[in-house]
Chain A
Amino acid sequence: EPEVTQTPSHQVTQMGQEVILRCVPISNHLYFYWYRQILGQKVEFLVSFYNNEISEKSEIFDDQFSVERPDGSNFTLKIRSTKLEDSAMYFCASSVGPGRGNEQFFGPGTRLTVL
């Protein structure tokens, strides 16, 4: 069964450094998402992406964040200058279509630790 994959599984970085988190969505999916989960808290939406542009973003997704689909398979999240509070698990997800009934499949996550 196809799955969403993410790399790396764990990223440790110094405050102020840039990080890029990578995701490979399921191949026939058209909608891509990033969520984050601070340890012990709920999953929070960051951004959704369709047709090579952002379709929706939350207030968390400020100017420090950007997303890109650099080729036909990868979907990346860049954090330009990391802060301590960016430490979290970052989940990528993808779905065939938008809206109700289109299950979002989650990747295994990247644990980001900012020191």
Chain B
Amino acid sequence: GENVEQHPSTLSVQEGDSAVIKCTYSDSASNYFPWYKQELGKRPQLIIDIRSNVGEKKDQRIAVTLNKTAKHFSLHITETQPEDSAVYFCAPHTGRRALTFGSGTRLQVQP
């Protein structure tokens, strides 16, 4: 099955700084790469995704970049705000029905 790793496991930044979270995966058949945000006690929510025929996608302050050769993709958050504080999960998808979540990155944005 898919082996998914995220780094770092925790990340603390000052408000206004950028944050980058990296996800590596093992299954070369993966073709869909979403990032989920989970606030404490809440459900995971999709914040951005990218497909394998695209190298980068941006939506306001968040972006995702994909390197299929190296089998990793990254979440970039610019101009971080306290409300960005949450746990972020990557969940690379092979086209099978299940999502395989990474272990999560706890982002803390210090005001």
Contact = CB atoms under 8 A, between A and B. Distances in A.
A42 B103 contact: yes
A42 B104 contact: yes
B49 A99 contact: no
B93 A103 contact: no
Interface string B92-111: 01011111111110000000
A31 B97 CA distance: 8
A103 B44 CA distance: 12
A108 B101 CA distance: 17
| Interface residues of B, dominant DSSP | loop
B31 interface: yes
A98 B97 contact: yes
Interface residues of B, number: 24
Given A101-B51, A103-B49, A45 B98 contact: yes
A79 B23 CA distance: 33
A48 B31 contact: no
B101 A42 contact: yes
B42 A108 contact: yes
Interface string A30-65: 010101000001111100101000011010000000
A104 interface: yes
Contacts of A25: none
Interface in A67-115: 91, 98-101, 103-104, 106-109
A99 B97 CA distance: 5
Interface in B74-107: 89, 91, 93, 95-104
Sort chain A's interface into a size bin: 20 to 34
Nearest to B30: A100
Contacts of B97: 31, 33, 48, 50, 55-56, 98-99
A56 B42 contact: no
Q: Lowest 8 A-B CB distances belong to which pairs?
A: A100-B32, A106-B43, A45-B98, A48-B97, A99-B95, A43-B101, A42-B101, A98-B97
Given A45-B99, A98-B95, 20 more contacts: A33-B98, A35-B99, A41-B103, A42-B102, A42-B103, A43-B91, A44-B101, A45-B98, A50-B97, A91-B43, A91-B44, A99-B95, A99-B96, A99-B97, A100-B32, A100-B95, A101-B49, A103-B49, A104-B46, A106-B43
